[in-house]
Amino acid sequence: MSYDLMVFDPETPPSDRQGFMKWYEQQVQWSEGHTYDDPKVSTAELRAWFLEMIGRYPAMNGPYASDDVDDPKVTDYSVGKHAIYAAFAWSEAESAFRTMFELAEKHRVGFFDVSAVDGAVWIPGESGKYARVHGG
C-alpha cells in the first residue's frame, strides 16, 4: 500500500468531477503504448515538474532511478503523456503532499490527491491563482 498523488496537464481532463474521474480511470490503465518511467513522453510542464520533483523524491525506476533502494523518499513514478502518478511511502505522506503540491503550482500543472477520500483536484486558474475545482 502506498500514498498516491498525481499531477496532470490541466488542459486534458474534463473539468467536472464525474468526467475527471472517468478520465483518471483511463489514465491508470497504463495503455498508452510506451514505458511509464521516462518523462520524455510528457508535456514540457510535466517534465519540468518531474525533473525538479526527483531532486527531492528520487525515482525508483527508469533513466533517473536512484541506486539507494533503502531511502524512504524513493518514489515509484508512472509517467504518461498527460499525467504523472507518484506512489510514496506512507512515512513520507505529509512532506510528499506539500512538496508535490508546491511544485505542481510552480509548474502550472494540475494536482490530484488520489489517496484521499473524495480527493481534491487543483488547477491553475486564468488569473494565475491555483484553485481547487472539485473534490476534497
The CA distance from 27 to 93, in Å, is: 22
Instruction: Identify the pLDDT of residue 86.
Output: 98
Shortest CA distance to 114 belongs to which of 97, 127, 128, 91?
Answer: 97
Residue range 74-95: mean pLDDT, rounded: 97
Query: Of residues 126 and 54, which shows the higher confidence score?
Result: 54
Handedness of CA 34, 38, 41, 43 (dihedral sign): positive
**pLDDT at 127 exceeding the cut of 90:** no
By residue range, what is the domain housing residue 18? 3-134
**pLDDT at 69 exceeding the cut of 90:** no
**pLDDT at 1 exceeding the cut of 90:** no
Shortest CA distance to 58 belongs to which of 72, 46, 74?
Answer: 74
pLDDT digits (tens, 9 = 90+) for 40-54: 999 999 999 999 999
The number of distinct structural domains making up the chain is: 1
Instruction: Identify the pLDDT of residue 126.
Output: 82
Contact 111, 103 (CB under 8 A): no
Instruction: Identify the pLDDT of residue 71.
Output: 95
Per the prediction, the chain carries an average pLDDT of 95
Enter the pTM of the model. Answer: 0.95
